[in-house]
């Protein structure tokens, strides 16, 4: 069986408070976008892991897909062995949730392949053990995310028919570095209110990481400016970066980007 884990973007991102456990509470709208990895699982007589596409750093034991498999095997004994293959295309460390998507789609794929008939509620509970963004990708629909990102509620925001330009310059921004420049605070206007009116987005739909990240990485700031110059009605960094996306009501004019940039254009 094969599935295609997709990326997400963040429409607004507020860091609301520092938690006692060392994490931060956030408020954001996560929105799925058509940028994909490919994940295949085949029943086998032995456990096999293979990967192609973009290099995946770290040992296989650190991969969230294999951690997802381990979680299921811990609770459900006697599951057949799997040959798992991942073709990696979603940029890593880009604020697009690619690793989280791979883990969540792995849970869904194993649920089908092993005929476990687990409801989304149980899959989301497993996903929450793997990472803060992982539960979002179980239903994979627009959601307001709070807490560490695992507390989800449906969002009515729609980008249907809009044009997306996604740019990743290959700059790595560590989570510790990103949070170091943020002072947690509650937003002046509730996120749900801002999302209702796209005319407000440019001024009011903010990513709290940008004020500290953009001055440190002029390349990222320039991408955002270029997207606005090309006619985007909204442009922002996704997550803690360094990918930047622009949303257009009309097909955007072609832009020239450096050859080492990851560039994806799509109609939502």
Catalytic residue IDs = 8, 133
Q: Which residue has the tokens 């004994």?
A: 77
Q: How many helices (H) and strands (E) does the chain have?
A: 9, 12
Instruction: Note whether 262 and 170 are within 8 A (CB).
Output: yes
- Candidates 247, 243, 236; CA nearest to 261 is 243
Measured CA to CA, the distance from residue 111 to residue 252 in angstroms comes to: 40
* Rounded distance between C-alpha atoms, residue 16 and residue 229, angstroms: 31
- Let me know: does 171 contact 217? Beta carbons within 8 Å: yes
> What phi-psi label fits residue 231: left (phi over 0), alpha (psi between -120 and 50 degrees) or beta?
left
Please tell me the total number of residues recorded for the chain in this structure.
268
- CA–CA separation, 173 vs 170, rounded Å? 10
């Amino acid at each position: 069986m094969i599935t295609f884990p997709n990326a997400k973007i963040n429409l607004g991102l507020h860091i609301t408070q520092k938690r006692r456990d060392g994490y931060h509470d956030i408020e954001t709208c996560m929105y799925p976008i058509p940028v994909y990895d490919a994940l295949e699982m085949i029943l086998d007589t032995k456990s096999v892991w293979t990967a192609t596409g973009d290099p995946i750093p770290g040992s296989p034991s650190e991969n969230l897909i294999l951690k997802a498999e381990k979680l299921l095997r811990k609770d459900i004994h006697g599951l057949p062995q799997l040959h798992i293959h991942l073709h990696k295309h979603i940029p890593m460390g880009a604020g697009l949730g690619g690793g989280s998507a791979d883990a969540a789609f792995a849970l869904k794929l194993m649920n089908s392949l092993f005929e476990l008939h687990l409801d989304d509620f149980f899959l989301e509970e497993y996903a929450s053990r793997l990472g803060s963004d992982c539960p979002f990708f179980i239903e994979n629909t627009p959601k307001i995310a709070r807490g560490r990102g695992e507390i989800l509620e449906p969002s009515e925001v729609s980008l249907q028919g809009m044009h997306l330009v996604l740019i990743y310059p290959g700059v790595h921004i560590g989570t510790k570095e990103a949070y170091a420049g943020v002072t947690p605070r509650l937003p002046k206007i509730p996120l749900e209110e801002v999302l209702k009116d796209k005319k407000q987005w440019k001024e009011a739909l903010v990513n709290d990481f940008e004020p500290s990240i953009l001055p440190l990485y002029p390349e990222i700031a320039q991408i955002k400016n270029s997207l606005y110059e090309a006619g985007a009605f909204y442009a922002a960094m996704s997550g803690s970066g360094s990918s930047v996306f622009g949303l257009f009501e009309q097909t955007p004019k072609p832009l020239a980007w450096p050859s080492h940039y990851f560039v994806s254009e799509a109609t939502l």
